[in-house]
Chains A and B, each alone.
Chain A
Amino acid sequence: MNTTVRSGRPRRREGVWLRQAGTENAVVDPTKDSVHLLNDTALAIWHLCDGDTQPEEMVAAICEISALHPDVVTEDVTRILGEFDRAGILEWVDE
């Protein structure tokens, strides 16, 4: 299955912050009084949402250290970014 990655560079929305306690990682959004738990992959993607890194670059880097097929990684990255987007904890910097 081919998945198209949204163009632009994702950036963590100002005001939200990452809380790490033990093995638990969560993004806290005080403006909405909400907490979003992250698994290990989502945590790594969250780290890369710096407003500078394109989703395609995220995919390429993950493929470099894993044996996963690019289509699988693209699907995962797209899904995770979509979840961040829907949760309102992300904003996109246009090209």
Chain B
Amino acid sequence: MSVQDDQVRILLADEQSLFREAVRVVLESEPDLRVVAEARDGAQALAEAERLEPDVALVDAGLPNTDGLQATSEIRARVPGCRVLVLGTQEDDLLTLVGALESGATGYLTKECPLAELIDATRSVHRGETLVPPRMLGPLLSQLVHRRREQNEAVKLLEQLTRREKEVLALLADGAGNDRIAQELVISPETARTHIQNVLGKLGVHSRLEAAAFVVQNDVFDELIGARV
């Protein structure tokens, strides 16, 4: 089997061999599409993506051994030229859709879609077009609006911290304990403890773990980096 230069080279990753075979037959009935590899789990999908550097990977969200979203994230990191279309099982699975986009997927489609839609979606994703099921677009945008609001609130809280407290929070988010914080900032452990208490109070959290989670969940680590320069 030869691949022509103008064909979209596809990696197909799904646990079910029957599904893979059916999709392969349908995709390869199109002259511009060619399945160059198949994988039955996440680890194999990643290995095949690295070996063959396909243009598009169709990845089932529920793959065994490194799930589909994790596999997507790793494929995007190691083979940046490969765009990923994640295949979910339910149209209203907003969690998987958001996870797919956060993992670097270019599109999301459910297995309930007609095969013709899968063909169009593969071409769209290859062109770099973000693909979201129309009925999930509204809920997705709502989620993004709420997330952005939370992030803005988080940034406002961070603005209440002193430069030193931001340095302490950055170290907490990095998993540092009192001794490491004291050592890195060249302050006494007692002073470090005081700063930590102030940080917890200003952020309205009750533990170092919550403070670290605050940074990760609101994706505000970059806001703290400046304080550590």
In contact, A47 and B141 (Cβ under 8 angstroms): yes
Residue interface mask A22-54, B partner, CB < 8 A = 1:
010100000000000000110111111010010
A48 to B138, CA, bound (A): 6
Q: Which residues of A contact B140 (CB under 8 A)?
A: 65
Tell me the nearest residue of chain B to A60, going by C-beta: B148
A20 touches B135 (CB 8 A): yes
Contact pick for A44, options B101, B128, B137, B148, CB 8 Å: B137
Nearest CB of chain B from residue A20's CB, rounded to whole Å: 7
Determine if A64 is an interface residue (Cβ-Cβ < 8 Å): yes
Q: Measured between alpha carbons, how far is A43 from B137 in the docked complex, in Å?
A: 8
A32 → B minimal CB distance (Å): 23
Given contacts A61-B148, A65-B130, A65-B132, contact A53 B137 (CB under 8 A): no
With A48-B142, A53-B142, A62-B141 as known contacts, state yes or no: A67 contacts B130, CB within 8 Å: yes
| Complex contact A67–B138 (CB within 8 A) | no
A80 in the interface (beta carbon within 8 A) = no
Chain A's interface size range is 20 to 34
The answer to whether B141 and A61 have CB atoms under 8 Å apart is: yes
Tell me the residues in window 48-95 of chain A with beta carbons closer than 8 Å to chain B beta carbons.
48, 50, 53, 57-58, 60-62, 64-67
Decide yes or no whether B47 CB sits under 8 A from chain A.
no
B144 within 8 A of A: yes
Main secondary structure of the interface of B (DSSP, over half): helix
B139 in the interface (beta carbon within 8 A): yes
Asked whether B130 lies within 8 Å of A61 as measured between CB atoms, the reply is no
B145 at the interface (CB under 8 A from A): yes
- Which residues on the B side are within 8 Å of A47 (C-beta)? 137-139, 141-142
Among B101, B132, B139, B145, which residue has its beta carbon within 8 angstroms of that of A53? Answer: B145
Is there contact, CB below 8 Å, between B135 and A67?
Answer: no
- B145 engages A57 (CB within 8 Å): yes
Residue B134, interface by CB 8 Å? yes
Give CA–CA (A64, B135) in the complex, Å: 18
Chain B residues, CB < 8 A from A61: 141-142, 144-145, 148
Question: Which residues on the A side are within 8 Å of B139 (C-beta)?
Answer: 47
Q: CA of A25 to CA of B149 in the docked complex: distance in angstroms?
A: 29
Chain B residues with CB below 8 A from A40, complex form: 134, 137
- From residue 128 to 181 of chain B, which have CB atoms closer than 8 A to chain A? 128, 130, 132, 134-135, 137-142, 144-145, 148-149
B residues with a Cβ closer than 8 A to A are 101, 128, 130, 132, 134-135, 137-142, 144-145, 148-149
A-B contact pairs, 18 of them (CB 8 A): A20-B135, A40-B137, A41-B137, A43-B135, A43-B138, A44-B134, A44-B137, A53-B142, A53-B145, A57-B149, A58-B141, A58-B145, A60-B148, A61-B141, A61-B142, A61-B145, A65-B144, A66-B130
